Structure 1
Amino acid sequence: MRRGMIALAGAALILAGAACGRASETPTQASKGPPPLPAPETLSSRPAAGPGEKLYLAKCAMCHGPGGMGTGLLARRTDQPLLEKRTDLTIDYVVQAARTGIGNMPAIPRGEVSDAELQQIAEHLAKGAKP
């Protein structure tokens, strides 16, 4: 019992010393961390958005916009993870990828995005495609 108490006291002293060491850090050292996430793309951030862009912002940007989880996963597969900035997307590819899913992206059912809505989103995303 006494040996356990001595070990606990020793651990408490070590932890207290470590905490004191952190207290001596300057505020800039202590506050450094990852950079802030970019502001999300929303309908309010793009008031002049066209119909396909509005649907993209409402249905897709939460994952595929700046800082979205789809962006991080897609960055491992392509040089340009932001879908709106890609120049290699065709309408057919966007529709096929959305309906069947691709990689970690699940299939998007018609109950979530209608065929007409998906067509508008695909046209918006394929606008930058090279002919």
Structure 2
Amino acid sequence: MRKFGLFGLALSAMSLAACSGGSADDASAGANGAKGGPPPMPAPITLSDRPDAKGGEKLYVEKCMMCHGPNGMGTGLLARRTDVPLLEERDDLTVDFVTQAARMGIGNMPAIPRGEVSDEQLKEIGEYLARNNPHAGDGA
């Protein structure tokens, strides 16, 4: 079998669509998801999206957002178990819970070693995530 690359694959799809009674536009629409395909993934969130982020928010974007952002694996897995899968939107997190979950791992989340996130950084991230919890200061 000959290798055609992406251009050849697109031509093959268009030819197949033409032979089956469809149009080349139908074939290319299926390839890019414009007609009937799944919705596009949300764009990843980076510090360039939040230039004013400081402290725990900045650390969260740098260290956690790749998994716990809108298109992250951690958010997808949490969506199966909780009504609010985005950690930034939750109102039940405490600094202690965030620290314990990060250091020990929880569910499919691996333990985060101090070499990746220091204790001080993790505390700032925990404080940022606990900001919406009205009971976070109660030792809850």
- TM exceeding 0.5: yes
d(CA) in 2 for partners of 1:54 and 1:103? 25
Match of 2:65 among 45, 61, 68: 61
- How many Å apart are 1:26 and its aligned residue? 5.6
Q: Distance in 2 between matches of 1:17 and 1:34?
A: 22
Which residue is equivalent to 1:45?
49
Which structure would you say has the larger RCO, counting Cα contacts within 8 Å and 6 or more residues apart? 1
Answer yes or no: is the 8 Å Cα contact 2:47–2:58 preserved in 1. Answer: yes
Matches within 5 A, 1:6-25: 20-21=19-20, 23-24=22-23
Q: CA shift at 1:17, angstroms?
A: 7.9
Quick check: 2:102–2:111 contact (8 Å CA) kept in 1? yes
Q: Deviations over 1:90-121 (max 9, x none)?
A: 11000000000000000001011000000000
Query: 2:80 pairs with 68, 76, 83, which one?
Result: 76
SS of residue paired to 1:112: coil
Find the counterpart in structure 2 of residue 130 from structure 1: 134
Q: Residues of 1 paired with 2:60 and 2:16: CA distance?
A: 53
Say if 1:60 and 1:25 are closer, same or farther in 2 by CA, change over 3 A. Answer: same
CA contact (8 A) 2:95 2:123 kept: yes
Distance (Å, rounded) in 1 between the aligned partners of 2:128 and 2:102? 14
Query: Residue 46 of structure 2 contacts residue 62 of structure 2 at CA under 8 Å; is this kept in 1?
Result: yes
- Structure 2 unaligned segments of length 5 or more: list them: 1-14, 136-140
| Percent identity over paired residues | 66
After TM superposition, the score normalised by the length of structure 2 is: 0.75
TM-score (norm 1): 0.80
Distance 1:39 1:29 in 2: 21
Partner of 1:90: 94
Q: Distance in 1 between matches of 2:95 and 2:45?
A: 22
| Corresponding residue SS for 2:126 | helix
